[in-house]
Amino acid sequence: MENLLYIAAVIAAVGFLVLCVSMAITLFSVKKTLANVAVTVEHLDSNLQDMTKETALLLHKTNALTEDIQYKSSQLNGLVTSVKGFGDTVNQFNSSMQRITSSVTNEVEKNEDKIAQVVQWSNVVLGIRDQWKERKSLEEAGYYTYKAKQTKQEDSSYQSTL
């Protein structure tokens, strides 16, 4: 039984040795991993600092752009108000023109007969004026109508008797 006890102690010692060796291998592996993590964290820290600087610059540019947009928007509000006023004026002008047009149309319809008479009389007057001008130009050129010639002869015979 004593032998059994020695065999058990040897098995326990071998088991403990295997456990220690595997723990040592695991610890070395963890040590390498932690060294890689430390290097990565150092790179990450420098990258993070660079990103922080870029983010701060981007934030400043964004703030400046926001202020510029607000300033231009406030200036644009005045233009929009002016354009709205111009549009209102154009609408009022259109309404006025529609009222005037409908008023003129109504008056023309009411006075249609009078307008037709005025047009007829104006045509008669223009015709008389054209005939008068034509007769005057013919007389200036030396052509006389029969009555005008007769009147001229009578005038000349009357003058000769005097």
pLDDT digits (tens, 9 = 90+) for 113-126: 888 888 899 999 99
Amino acid identity, position 33: T
Give percent of the chain above pLDDT 90: 41
Where do the DSSP E strands lie in 57-105?
none
CA–CA separation, 68 and 93 (whole Å): 37
Of 40, 17, 21, 41, which Cα lies nearest the Cα of 29? 21
**Which tokens sit at 129?**
């004026």
How high is the mean pLDDT of the chain?
85
Cα gap 103→24, rounded to integer Å: 110
Torsion from C-alpha of 123, 125, 131, 133, nearest 10 degrees: -120
Residue 27 pLDDT greater than 80, yes or no: yes
